[in-house]
Amino acid sequence: MPYLFTSESVSEGHPDKVADQISDALIDNFLAYDTTSKVACETLVTTGQVVLAGEVKSDAYLDVQDIAREVIRKIGYTKSEYMFEANSCGILSAIHEQSPDINQGVDRKNPEEQGAGDQGMMFGYATKETENYMPLALDLAHKLLIELAALRRENKEITYLRPDAKSQVTIEYSDDNQPIRIDTIVISTQHDDFAADQQMLDKIKQDMINILIPRVKASLKPELQALFTDKITYHINPTGKFVIGGPHGDTGLTGRKIIVDTYGGKGAHGGGAFSGKDPSKVDRSAAYATRHIAKNLVAAGVCDEVLVQVSYAIGVAKPCGVFVDTYGTAKVKLNDGEIARKVEAIFDLRPYAIEQRLKLRNPMYAETAAYGHMGRENKVITKVFNAGKKSEKKVEVELFTWEKLDYVEKVKQAFGL
């Protein structure tokens, strides 16, 4: 029997994402000037106020206020009527030194024996459903908001958009788990107060359906374009006007959008957030490592869909266990337990090995903090820190290294494919 599955996304201007982006900008700046930095930084944003808190062990000294303001400015909170504005918001820093009790469990004389920064379990997932091996509903939800942000910055076809927005996509699947059509699209976007309430709502709905949707659809392959039928139910700003938004509308906190950040509810999640954590925290690094494993397994033809779990004890390098679930889609004559043992042999899952394999000690994290950490484009860019100052530093960074298909041949060889 056909079934429905839904995923959501939130924009870079959503208050929780504002917090995530500030926390990850701090991580990048610490790593740019001291690659050995240990950081766990949380951010709270509300009306006219930013609060930074956390633990740091680093030789770098940062102007955290300047970093936070630049992030807020880049997102688009640059007008006083937003009640949260880059130049005028208050910024309180309560960042202090990392506990030596925690650090002693991580640092080792032999770096290869570096312990996990915390206990816990992390999951990675991949599916053949899309070109980037991501669940389709989440991929479309992200694309809607990326395009909406592009329209906002262009300020031509649509001129009333503000930074805060959310999307949601519901897809109907067939009995054999193939997407048949898009059932429902939900878009809530913050906007200027530009007309009477009903007139604004009508205009926004018309623009979302006639401008945003066609732009997103045009970027997709024909088989995905075919999912956009005239039977889609649209809910556009379903509560009515959405003028008050961003941190003024809702308080934002680092780490509250972990399902948006990963697989949109597909697979599983260990519960640990990513943003604001340096890669010694396996909440982040092992989640990236398991995505890398899952994507390479599917790309190599081991299975059509897979969930990979790894777990750790704090201060211990060797994982407690590795688990694999292929959902019955395995193409090899091995059960999931046997596949898991081969995965352990192919991929070194000690924290230091993950950091080295995925180049995680580079300032690569600000780009992950909006529109998902998984399914993104692997590319090399040059990032500039403290631009125009005496301490200006340029760093060449490879982004989203866990999205590389660099282990496909090794996987094929190990599985005899």
pLDDT in tens, 377-404: 999 999 999 998 999 999 999 999 999 9
pLDDT band (50, 70, 90) for residue 107:
low
276 dihedral zone (left: phi>0; alpha: psi -120 to 50; beta)? left
Annotated ligand binding at 66? The verdict is: no
Annotated ligand binding at 164? The verdict is: yes
Annotated ligand binding at 250? The verdict is: yes
- Burial label for 29, CB within 10 Å (0-12, 13-18, 19+), is buried
Give the separation between CA 287 and CA 305, rounded to whole angstroms: 17
Annotated ligand binding at 73? The verdict is: no
pLDDT, one tens digit per residue, over 295-308 is 999 999 999 999 99
In the chain, pLDDT over 70 holds for what percent of residues? Answer: 97
* CATH class of this structure's domain 120-127+271-415: alpha beta
pLDDT, one tens digit per residue, over 109-158 is 667 778 887 899 999 999 999 999 999 999 999 999 999 999 999 999 99
Q: What is the mean pLDDT of the chain?
A: 95
The pLDDT of residue 106? 62
* CATH class of this structure's domain 15-98: alpha beta
- In Å, how far are 48, 365, 366 from 394, measured between CA atoms? 31, 15, 15
Domains 3-9+135-245 and 15-98 share a fold: yes
Annotated ligand binding at 281? The verdict is: yes
Annotated ligand binding at 24? The verdict is: no
Annotated ligand binding at 96? The verdict is: no
Annotated ligand binding at 116? The verdict is: no
Whole-structure pTM value: 0.96
DSSP label at 377? P
The pLDDT of residue 114? 82
Give the separation between CA 132 and CA 298, rounded to whole angstroms: 11
- In Å, how far are 169, 367, 370, 401 from 180, measured between CA atoms? 13, 32, 28, 32
Q: How is the chain split into domains, by residue range?
A: 3-9+135-245, 15-98, 120-127+271-415
pLDDT, one tens digit per residue, over 177-230 is 999 999 999 999 999 999 999 999 999 999 999 999 999 999 999 999 999 999
Annotated ligand binding at 55? The verdict is: yes
What letter represents residue 175's amino acid?
Answer: D
Annotated ligand binding at 256? The verdict is: yes
pLDDT band (50, 70, 90) for residue 405:
very high
Annotated ligand binding at 98? The verdict is: yes
Q: Which fold has domain 3-9+135-245?
A: GMP Synthetase; Chain A, domain 3 (3.30.300)
Annotated ligand binding at 410? The verdict is: no
The pLDDT of residue 374? 98
